[in-house]
Each structure stands twice: as structure tokens, then as C-alpha cells.
Chains A and B, each alone.
Chain A
Amino acid sequence: MRQLLRNINLTFILGAVLVFIVVQALISVGVLNAYWQGIIFWGAAITMVSLGLNLIYGFNGQFSLGQFGFYAIGAYASADITFRWVRSDPSALVVVIFGSLLTLVFMLGISAFLRRFYGVSTLTKFLFHFLATVLGFFLAVRFVNPAIGQAVYRALNGLPSGISQQIVFFLALVGGATLAGIVSYLFGIPVLELGSDYFGIATLGFTIIVKILLDNTDTLLPFPEMKGARGMVGIPKWTTWPWVFFSFMAILLVMRNLLHSSTGRAILSVREDERAAELVGIDTASSKILAFVIGSVFAGLAGGIRAHDLAFLHPTMFGFLPSFNPLIIIVFGGLGSMTGTIVTGFFWIFLLEGALRSLPAGFENWRFVIYPLVLLAMMLLRPQGMLGRYEIAFLRRPLPPLRVAKEAPPSPAVAPKAEEVAA
């Protein structure tokens, strides 16, 4: 047993399975009621969003305030898919899935085409990709949906209802995440060229634009079912513990495997010194876009999970103030630490809810004074975040064993530190 536990991958899988079973059992016997389930699912969703932001800011060094915009896109897109589906309208599903697929194909073609020219300006590049997106979704709305919409509906409804629901939910989550990824790609092409601070401001603008559009989904945008600033009701409540758990694990594994690879090292090098990275042959522009898109996809997926847990969406959920939550979480947990983000993500939601419940009646709004004080104290006492760059063994980047013996062992103060910071 001891020997087995030394295998960190196995230990991690065992631990994860254990968590899954315990929570599922507690839900089944009713210890975790709907309220506590909501808290856990919310914590998981916000953690997924924060992991994405940590990839963008903590690991890639690009200060972004746009994460909640992509969270909102994922939430609304996947909610629209299932909302229409349960009302016997497959159009959203077909348009999002096939529109995204067509767009991705067009974008691949355009990237390959543009690569043959040197010195293509970013705006040209953006314009081409934007046109690809417009064309992809136009074709999906105009031709694909009328042609195969009903067939898809009948085919999926032919399955037993439980299975078809799960498939539709899966496609809705994938669709929402993909849409967030496509938008982030389009947004990232011109904006990631800006330096880090300017990029932060631009992404803040993005969140605000998304919020304004969501306020006017029924007037500016052709989505009356989203009901603009009144909030979208009637989303099926399909999020269950297994969905939360497996989405979470998928994100965690993708992020870990990405960061522990050569591409991950390239992403880290951009954070360390962008100019130096460029001058050892790293394509920093692609590296930044990659991290940004993957981080946004995480946010989009989390949005879908959250939307189908709450069964209600409102633009204020994605407004200016809440959009700082992921940033607070990753700074609090430690920039560049996945473990820190996970711990703090859940902690933050428990704190938000705990303060709401435990403060005496009439004083609830004092929690908005308490949080900043907690943050201030944190920044003063432990500016590197709760866990710094510490990672649990499974998430830590492996240090290859030395091939030679250390000649002069460094002072003991240095040796453990080297492992700790190796995130």
C-alpha cells in the first residue's frame, strides 16, 4: 500500500474517486441538500473559471479582466441550446455546434493560407478570421439548420429520453465552451499584441460589452428568450454532481498536461520574459493566444455548468463587480498555482455565502467591507498568495533526476526552495 501510494498519479486518481463517491453518497442520502449542492457546484464552476484565468495571468502573464465575459458567453449559449431544446426547437443546438465546426474549419484554412505570407498585419488577420466566423454561422443559420435541424431533433428524440437529455446537455456544454473559445480567439488576435496593462483594460472593456449585450439580448440581439435585463428563466436544471466532477477533472487534467509539456514551458517563458522568449525561438504571439483561448474555453464550460445548476441567468451575475472574483481567487491562492486556485475557489464561495448567512440580520452588506479587508490583510501579510507557487505532487511539474551527483551541495536553505517554486 505504501509503495502504491508513492505513485503520485495513482494516489491522485484514488483520491479523486474517493471524493466523487463520498460526495455522491452524501447527496444520495440527503446530507448535502439542494442548498449545499448549489454551493459546491458554484464553487466548482468559479474554480474552473479561475483555473482558466490562472492559465492566462498566473502562468502566461497576461493580465485579463475578460474572464467573466467568456463565462457569460458559455452560460448563455449553452442555456439557450437546452432552453430551446426542451421546447422542441433544435435550432440553437444545430447552429452553435455546426456553426462552430464550420468556423473552425474556415479558420484552419485561413490560418494555413495566411501563413504563406510574411508580415500580415494583425488587423488583416483579425478581419479574415472574423469573416470566417460570420460565414460559418451564417451558413449554419441559413442552410444547415433548415436542412438537418428536424432530422437531428428526431434522431436524438428517438433515443430513450434520459440518454438524449445527457447527449444534448453534453453538446450544450461543448457548444458554449467552443463559442467562448472562438470569441476569445477573435478578440485575442488584435488585443494580445498590446502590452500586459493595455490588454487588461481592453479585456475589461470586453466584459462590459458582453454585459451590455446581455442586458439587451431581446432588443439589440435576436434572442427574446434570454429576456434581456429581466433575466433568463426556464433553463432546465440538468447539472448533477457527475457532470460537475467530470468537467472539473477534465479541465484540471488538460491544464496540468498542457503545463507539463513543451508548450507549457513556452507559455511559462512568456510570463518570465517575453522578449527573451521570442529570441530563443518561441512564437510568443501564438503562445499567448493559445493560453488565452484555452483559459476562455474553461470559463465557457464553467458557464454552462453554472447555468444549468441555477436554471436562471441574469446579466448582473456577469457584471463589473463579480467579474473580479476570479482575479481575487487566483491572487489569493497564488498566481501560478493550480492547487491554490482550487483551494481558494471553494473557500471564496464558502466565504461569500458564509458571511451572508452568519452576519446578523441587517448587517449582510458589511460583507462587502469584510472581503476587501481580507484581501488587504492578505496582500500585506502574504503577497505571494496563500500557497505561493506550491502544488500538490500530482500537479507539480516533475523535476527530472540529476544525471550526475551534486558536486558541492548548495546550502540547505536553497534545496527545498527549488522544489517549491518549480511550478
Chain B
Amino acid sequence: MKGRPNNLSPEVEARPAVLEIEGLTHYFDSLRAVHDFSITIKEGELVGLIGPNGAGKTTVFNLITGVYRPTAGSIRYEGAQLVGLPSHEIIQMGIARTFQNIRLFANLTVLDNVLIAHHPHSGYGLTDAIFRSRRFREREKAMIERGQEFLEIFGLADRQNDIAGSLPYGLQRRLEIARALATQPRLLLLDEPAAGMNPQEIDQLMELIQFIRDRFHLTIFLVEHRMRLVMNICEWITVMDFGEIIARGKPEEVRGDPRVIEAYLGRQAIR
């Protein structure tokens, strides 16, 4: 199977593929950001993508979610081609993502942030809203209840009416994950979820990731810098440097790979 380590359990290999990327290449003008990137992620897996700064990890996420259109290559989600689709349609197909630097709707309430992500599932239209039809009242009520349930799951219920920008950093991260899950995804892309967190917060984050994975039956693909997180929760890892894949395998294999150490610490470190 292309784009996977070859020593994974047959049970996992038998599952259907969720995300299949082949030969993904992207140039910013003449700068090659991603070159011939391939990966296949199976249902229910938790896969990590690591690499030094500027390796092209976030670009891969941006290509998957349609922020950029790749120069070449194919991205398939549950068999459907994503290249060329606008971002919002890709999200509505069941992919959600968070951002490296938190991008909440900072002036809106915590609940609003979650409800906005529910919008494609609101179930009523413009005329219902303007004329306050019965459908509007019922669906809006149901929507708010769903949003509140979400906030309860993430321990944000008591902050429901606070302004999102006023939350402490850790809760903003949490809210961003809650908002991403409110789009009802099956594949979740986490872009450096542990950025700016201390070791204790990272432990909480790992628990949260494990929890949402089981609770929402998610496949998770995450980009991360912090080895503590990646090594502990990812089932296997792909390592990028200068836009290319330099290694892949289980965490303990990757950790000892001389190419990875070189990419992270420089050639000196291996001698």
C-alpha cells in the first residue's frame, strides 16, 4: 500500500482508506513547498506528521482543505477527489481542521462559535428566519441544544455566553477543537494542537484527543512539533523535511532514524 509503513497490523490494513494522497506537489511561485507527498490513512487511525519548521506540514493541511490548489497530485477523501473543490464543500464532506495559531471568532460568544460550525446543518432557510416560521423556532432550539451539549462535552458549558476571545489560552484551544467537531467530521486535522502549551497542558490535550477520537469515531491526522505528544499518541508517523517525506514508521522506529535526527538536530548530531 502506498504511503504507509509496511509493518502495521493486518487488521488495520483491512480497513477502508479515509484519506489517500498521491504525488502531492505544491509550488509557491518557484519555491517548492511540498514535493511528491503521498500518504494513505485508514479509518480510525491516529497519524502524525512531523518535521522541522518550514518543512511544509501546514501546507499539506492547506492543500487538503482547499486553501491552496496543488500544483500536481491527487487527494481523495473516502474515494472522492478533493482537488479543485472550495474549502467549505470539503469541510461539509466531513473533514474538519484546527489552526496552528488559534482562529476563533473572537468577538462572538463561545456558543456562537460552535453554532456557526453547525450552520450547514441548521435545517432552515432564509425565509424561515425572516418570517420566524415554526420550522425556524424548532430547528433553532434544537441547534442551540446541540451546541450546548457540545460545550458540555468539552467542559465549556459554564462559559457559553462568554466572549470567545476572553477565554484563557487552554480553553480557546479546546473551543477550537469543539468548533471543528461541530462540523460533524469523520476526519479531523489538528495543526499543532500543543503549540504554546506546557507539559501538563499537553497531557490534558492528549487525554482530550484520545477521548474525542473514541467518542466521535474519528480518524485523526495531526501535525505537531512537540515530541511528547506525537510519540505518545500517534500510531505511526510521517516525517517531512524541505517538502519531502524522509521517513515513516512507528514512533519508536522514527525516533531512532538517523535521517530524522539529522533533519531535526543537524548533521553534527549523528557523528
Contact = CB atoms under 8 A, between A and B. Distances in A.
Interface in B79-113: 84-88, 91-92, 96-97, 99, 103-109, 111-112
Contacts of B144: 400
Nearest to A400: B144
B137 to A, nearest CB: 11
Contacts of B125: 263
A233 interface: no
Q: Which of A261, A273, A399 has the most CB of B within 10 A?
A: A261
Contacts of A290: 126
B152 A280 contact: no
Contacts of B85: 118
Interface stretch (B70-78, B156-164, B234-242, B256-264): B156-164
Nearest to A264: B129
B109 A272 contact: no
Given A277-B116, A279-B67, A279-B97, 18 more contacts: A119-B84, A262-B115, A262-B129, A262-B140, A265-B115, A268-B112, A269-B116, A272-B108, A279-B65, A279-B99, A282-B120, A283-B86, A285-B86, A402-B161, A404-B152, A418-B162, A418-B166, A421-B163
Given A118-B84, A257-B130, A400 B108 contact: no
A142 interface: no
A283 B119 CA distance: 10
Given A281-B117, A281-B120, A400-B148, A272 B106 contact: yes
Interface in B106-159: 106-109, 111-112, 115-120, 122, 124-126, 128-132, 136, 140, 143-144, 148, 152, 157-158
A265 B112 contact: yes
9 contacts: A118-B84, A263-B119, A264-B129, A266-B119, A268-B105, A272-B108, A273-B105, A273-B106, A283-B88
A419 B182 CA distance: 24
A403 B163 contact: no
A272 B105 contact: yes
B190 interface: no
A67 B148 CA distance: 38
A278 B106 contact: no
A257 B129 contact: yes
B179 interface: yes
B157 A402 contact: yes
A257 B132 contact: yes
Contacts of B166: 414, 418
A285 B183 CA distance: 18
B73 to A, nearest CB: 17
Q: Which of B97, B104, B157, B161 has the most CB of A within 10 A?
A: B161
Nearest to A410: B162
Contact of A400 (B99, B160, B179): B160
A262 B122 contact: yes
Contact of A280 (B91, B107, B129, B163): B91
Given A275-B67, A275-B103, A279-B67, A254 B130 contact: yes
B180 interface: yes
Which 3 pairs, one residue from A and one from B, show the smallest C-beta to C-beta distance? A261-B129, A272-B105, A262-B122
A406 interface: yes
A400 B111 contact: yes
Given A269-B108, A400-B144, A402-B158, A280 B117 contact: yes
Interface in A263-303: 263-266, 268-269, 272-273, 275-285, 290
A285 B87 CA distance: 11
A404 B157 contact: yes
B129 A258 contact: yes
B158 A404 contact: yes
Interface residues of A, number: 44
A407 B140 contact: no
Nearest to A269: B116
B107 to A, nearest CB: 6
B109 A399 contact: yes
B107 A272 contact: yes
Nearest to B110: A418
Contacts of A221: none
A235 B186 CA distance: 61
Given A263-B129, A281-B91, A403 B67 contact: no
A404 B11 CA distance: 42
Given A268-B105, A276-B105, A278-B87, A418 B161 contact: yes
Contact of B116 (A282, A400, A406, A419): A282
Contacts of A272: 105-108
A268 to B, nearest CB: 6
Contacts of B108: 265, 268-269, 272
A269 B105 contact: yes
Contacts of A285: 86
Contacts of A278: 86-88, 91
B65 A402 contact: no
A422 interface: yes
Contact of A261 (B92, B136, B182): B136
A402 B160 contact: yes
A405 interface: yes
A281 B88 contact: yes
Given A257-B132, A262-B118, A265-B116, A276 B109 contact: no
A410 B118 CA distance: 27
Given A273-B103, A281-B117, A421-B163, A405 B91 contact: no
A278 B105 CA distance: 12
A6 interface: no
Contacts of B122: 262-263
Contacts of A357: none
A118 B84 CA distance: 7
Given A262-B140, A403-B148, A279 B91 contact: yes
B259 to A, nearest CB: 33
A405 B105 contact: no
B152 A403 contact: yes
A261 to B, nearest CB: 3
Given A262-B143, A276-B104, A281-B88, A422 B129 contact: no
B111 A280 contact: no
Contacts of A273: 103-106
A407 B152 CA distance: 13
A282 B183 CA distance: 10
Interface in A368-414: 399-400, 402-407, 410, 414
